[in-house]
Amino acid sequence: MSYRFSDPSLLQHALTHRSVLSETNSDYTQSNELLEFLGDAVLAFIVVEYLYLSFPDRHEGELSKIKSMLVSGEALHRIAMDLELGEHILMSDNEARNGGRKRLSILEDTLEAVIAAIYLDGGMEAARNFINRHILSHVEKLIDSDYDRNFKSKLLEYAQGLGMKAPVYRVVNEDGPDHQKRFEVEVEIEGKSLGVGSGHTKKSAQQKAARAAMELLSTGGVLKPGHP
């Protein structure tokens, strides 16, 4: 894990599943469920804050969709698996034998409990750093996949619906060092320029160009002449 606790008991609390309580004669408050409740709120706030500051030109509905993808059970389960969190959860032998260490709901809740523990131990900045590293680092990948599913396919359907050739994407500019290259891509349909997008990968730039094209077409924009 990328965070070192000043109070290790907070981490132990975050890793305590309710199934172990009967074996240790502990009460409800010793499980991680209340921490999970707090962690869910901390995670939601930091993700929304990040999206609000990073994408001021996006509509609320679009940001809500991105947030939902970032904090979904599947996404948190994948991150918890990457962190091998399941191997450290304190749970009953029966729960472990029944696959508890890999169960989506348990790993999702435990990760949120760990976020709460980090928040209580190191404050909001510590929680933000953890979330930035393990969750928000996936934002561009999620957005790219969403663009790929929606905007590129919609643009292709638009062209096909008019009996036109498939959109053509071409790199019109690239700059920056090799480890942080930035590409600018233009999309054309039969020589007519519809939009330009930029990103750290060609695929990302293509997807953003397709989005710009769909926005132009949806507002009845006039097609601009393409490059010779």
Catalytic residue list: 40, 112
Residues 114 and 43: their CA atoms lie apart, in Å, by 11
Residue-wise DSSP of 131-166: HHHHTGGGHHHHHHHHHIIIIIHHHHHHHHHTTPPP
Residues 100 and 72: their CA atoms lie apart, in Å, by 19
DSSP 8-state assignment for residue 198: E
Is the alpha carbon torsion for 202, 204, 208, 210 positive or negative? positive
Between CA 148 and CA 126, with CA 135 as vertex, the angle to 5 degrees is: 155
- The answer to whether 31 touches 15, Cβ cutoff 8 Å, is no
Q: How far is CA 48 from CA 135, 136, 144, 154, in A?
A: 12, 11, 19, 28
Q: Which residue, among 51, 53, 14, 5, has the nearest Cα to 34 in the 3D structure? A: 14
